[in-house]
Amino acid sequence: MNHDDLPSTGAWALAQRLQRRELRAETLVRACLERIAEREPLLQAFAVVDAEGALAQARVLDAGAVRGPLHGLPLGVKDLIDTADLPTAYGSPIYAGYRPRADAAVVALCREAGAIVLGKTVTTEFATYQPGPTRNPHNPGHTPGGSSSGSAAAVAAGMLPLALGTQTAGSVIRPAAFCGVVGFKPGFGRLPRGGVKSLAETLDTVGFFARGVADAALLAAVLTGDQRLMPGVDTAAPRLGLCPTPDWSLADADTRAAWAQALAVLAPQAAACADVVLPADFAALAPLQKSLMAHEAARALAWERQHHAARLSAPLQALLAEGLAISGAEQAGMRAQVQALRRPVDALFVNHDVLLAPSAPGCAPAGLQSTGDPVFCRPWSALGLPCVHLPFARGAGGLPLGLQLVGRDGDDHRLLAWAAWAMQRLAPGATVVPPAEY
């Protein structure tokens, strides 16, 4: 493999070469750093790049025994997630220069498995609405999405093979869609959240970005300890449920074209393919998620709100004010509504193995003032179901887009296997190629 091809290679293929000692960790880190030097001045995906620390760790790994399944793989960590050796600012000037005393649990697990933290990637302010400086690698005049902006952009631009993110509303799936990479949001509670800045206690989920489904499956297996998630597990064709959701009217022509493309390819090869009949109250999930997030954020960010209100952005102040206006009794009622919908939604998986749904209303919007609308992700985040974004299409303007697969609670391993099945048919042999430089 040519040195120049390394930044475009998926983590699963790189891991195999690193395990066999056909590739040195230092060589891979240097290749990523070269790509960062080329693309980062324009894209601004990183809050911090730790070149010297990463190279030093790579040399240690090259000189010793194979550390684990992620041995020598460079990793980006969303700047919402604590790192003991690098600043963690949570996307806010309040925490400029802040140094946590410990790694977040997911970071510690990645390091234990041999991953090399190459840097911290840009997040929106406390994973909410105020964008950071990151630009879309496919067109720098467009948003990369949020809140895991830097993680998605860095993987899409070939600066990293893997990056951690988080999702409370749509902060993994939407930027994966806008940047054209695989995004995986595990089921709620599958990954530890210790050391991750809380926004909404009943919604926050650690997820990640990769170039292929196998890459995401590798990281998922490491972080959960569930070997059923490892790539390479064959699976029969799924019974595919078509779920455009009650918000389908918000999907633009590009998303509708991707939907038609997916159906034309997958429907003839699926074990079954049928429209999903959603519970009557399903349309309430998106507004419920939004209100729950506001209520819980106003409490999770109580100290920042009380002591540094002037340093919070206007959109965040508005969100917190909205949350404070929601009483505890109202919040409990909303949680009960969500809970009541879990059983009828779970029943959908009696007749469908996996649901096909939109990831975003369309391609990444122009401008950097907004990170886009998470409307198509809110219901699944409210329910805590696992989701995978499949990047297989492009809009009329050339920007990437795709669709998401949604799995049953506890079926993360089957969801990833069926995502691999789908991608093999939608984009056979595809790998994420870094966009041309602007």
In angstroms, the CA 404 to CA 389 distance is: 4
327 CB burial (10 A radius; 0-12, 13-18, 19+):
exposed
Q: Which helix (H) or strand (E) holds 29?
A: helix 25-43
User: 45 by DSSP, 3-state: which?
Assistant: coil
* DSSP sequence for 195-258: TB--S-TTT-EEEEEESSHHHHHHHHHHHH--GGGSTT---PPPEEEE---TTGGG--HHHHHH
Catalytic residue among 147, 198, 313, 381: 147
Picking from 381, 384, 390, 375, the residue whose alpha carbon sits closest to that of residue 410 is: 384
In angstroms, the CA 69 to CA 165 distance is: 20
Catalytic residue among 151, 171, 359, 381: 171
Picking from 423, 417, 437, the residue whose alpha carbon sits closest to that of residue 181 is: 423
- Catalytic annotation present for 78: yes
User: 387 by DSSP, 3-state: which?
Assistant: strand
Picking from 101, 103, 108, the residue whose alpha carbon sits closest to that of residue 70 is: 108
Amino acid found at 49: V
In angstroms, the CA 418 to CA 216 distance is: 13
User: 81 by DSSP, 3-state: which?
Assistant: strand
Please name the residue ranges forming H helices in 245-399.
253-266, 285-300, 302-307, 314-324, 328-347, 378-383
* HSE (side-chain half, CA atoms, 13 Å) at 45: 35
- Catalytic annotation present for 185: no
149-170: burial string, b at 16+ Cβ within 10 Å, e else: bbbbbbbbbbbbbbbbbbbbbb
In angstroms, the CA 163 to CA 152 distance is: 7
Active site residues: 78, 147, 171
